[in-house]
Amino acid sequence: MARVFSGIQPSGELHIGNYLGAVQNWVKLQDLHECLFSVVDLHAITQPYEAGGLAQRTEEMALSLLAAGLDPDKSTIFVQSHVAEHTELNWLLTIVTPLGELERQTQFKDKSQRQESVSAGLLNYPVLQAADVLLYKATLVPVGEDQLQHLELMREIVRRWNARFGADFFPEPQAQLSTARRVLGLDGQAKMSKSLGNTIGLFDPPDSIWEKLRPAATDPARKTRKDPGNPDICNVFTIHQGFSAPAVQADVAHKCRTAGWGCLDCKRVLADNMIAALTPMRERAAALRADPRRVRDVLRAGAAKARALARQTMAEVRRRMGLLPAEA
């Protein structure tokens, strides 16, 4: 049994992009492995944010993960800032992290271009991400494609730390991608992302799902109903792969390639399958909203479990790095 760690920022709603890219996989993995999943609030604050709403967004993301199918009896679910060891290990890992690697990260370059003044926190973002995973010595990290470069750097940090302070202490974590590793926005232009306003929310009601899906971009080369399409480059087909059964996917792909139906027919089938999958989640979210203590209890218990594991790792990390024990 592997140990799994992954995280999600409380920077907006859970949408079908981060659901299909990561969270759907998390729900499956909790039946197979020992899993920890975290709402990474300390990562979210590296972007300009409104402090007054952060706590509420953090709680809402935790609620969304439970509604999407994470089960606190199977997984440890917690808020990153509730386990102080994340920031401690972050500092200790900066010692072996090459500055040039941080400056080369695509996400850093993209985000820093959009900000007037770039903080050291934004640069340090991937080191904190490495600390998240290494604190639990997790080996499997289910993420979307946009996180692969951070995972590569994480492995580099492991190799450097192990070489200096203890061979094989940290395992090298592996990314696990889902089939829908990169869901595009409904406009077909960029990654689906709340900040771009091109999402379908996980808890959107049925009529809104259809309203958004109907005009969604498909294979741009398929100009008319009579032209055959290519599902391999169609974002709507990517979404089918997350919500439709394998036999339906095969049928959809065949009808697309042979111009056996139009894109609207294809979207109608997808909308039905999405609505069937998402309705129980929307209902669970409503039930959890009516009982806010439930989410807080889950997060309290999750942080206690995570802290116990984190303390074990940190005791050994401090020792290997030569720090004087407090009780000496």
Residue 257 beta carbon to ligand TYM: minimum distance, rounded to whole angstroms: 24
Name which position in 29, 65, 102, 143 contacts ligand TYM (CB under 6 A).
Answer: 143
Residues 103 and 98: their CA atoms lie apart, in Å, by 9
> For the chain, how far is it from start to end, CA to CA, in angstroms?
37
**Residue 81 found at the interface with ligand TYM (CB under 6 A):** no
Residue 281 beta carbon to ligand TYM: minimum distance, rounded to whole angstroms: 16
**Residue 133 found at the interface with ligand TYM (CB under 6 A):** yes
**Residue 7 found at the interface with ligand TYM (CB under 6 A):** yes
Which position's Cβ is nearest ligand TYM?
21
**Residue 266 found at the interface with ligand TYM (CB under 6 A):** no
Residues 314 and 111: their CA atoms lie apart, in Å, by 31
Each as own residue / partner, the long-range contacts of residues 48-52 (CB below 8 Å, 24 or more positions apart, any chain) are 48/115, 49/11
Going through 89-165 in order, the beta strands assigned E by DSSP cover 140-142
Q: Which of 111, 137, 212, 305 is catalytic?
A: 111
Q: Total residues at the site for ligand TYM (CB under 6 A)?
A: 25
Tokens 């974590």, residue?
173
Report residue 198: phi and psi, to 5°: -120, 35
109 is catalytic: no
Residue 42 contacts residue 128 (beta carbons within 8 Å) = yes
Residues 317 and 170: their CA atoms lie apart, in Å, by 10
**Residue 132 found at the interface with ligand TYM (CB under 6 A):** yes
**Residue 58 found at the interface with ligand TYM (CB under 6 A):** no
**Stretch in the footprint of ligand TYM (CB under 6 A) among 5-13, 109-117, 241-249, 265-273:** 5-13
**Residue 176 found at the interface with ligand TYM (CB under 6 A):** no
Tokens found for residue 283: 């209902």
305 is catalytic: no
255 is catalytic: no
**Residue 135 found at the interface with ligand TYM (CB under 6 A):** no
**Residue 242 found at the interface with ligand TYM (CB under 6 A):** no
**Residue 201 found at the interface with ligand TYM (CB under 6 A):** no
Q: Which of 28, 74, 137, 194 is catalytic?
A: 194
Going through the chain in order, the beta strands assigned E by DSSP cover 3-8, 34-39, 75-79, 140-142, 174-176
Q: How far, in whole angstroms, is CA 150 from its chain's centroid?
A: 13
Which is nearer to ligand TYM, 14 or 252 (by Cβ)? Answer: 14
Which is nearer to ligand TYM, 15 or 222 (by Cβ)? Answer: 15
Which is nearer to ligand TYM, 53 or 260 (by Cβ)? Answer: 53
Report residue 109: phi and psi, to 5°: -65, -45
Which is nearer to ligand TYM, 13 or 251 (by Cβ)? Answer: 13
Neighbouring CB atoms inside 10 A of 45's CB total: 17
Residue 5: strand pairing partners: 36
Residue 183 contacts residue 21 (beta carbons within 8 Å) = yes
Tell me the C-alpha to C-alpha distance, in Å, between residue 18 and each of 5, 8, 35, 166, 209. Answer: 15, 8, 18, 36, 16
Which is nearer to ligand TYM, 159 or 254 (by Cβ)? Answer: 159
Residues 121 and 125: their CA atoms lie apart, in Å, by 6
Which is nearer to ligand TYM, 53 or 228 (by Cβ)? Answer: 53
Residue 25 beta carbon to ligand TYM: minimum distance, rounded to whole angstroms: 9
Site for ligand TYM in 101-130 (CB under 6 A): 129
Active site residues: 111, 191, 194
Binding site for ligand TYM (CB under 6 A): 5-9, 17-18, 21-22, 40, 43, 129, 132-133, 141, 143-144, 146-147, 181-183, 191-193
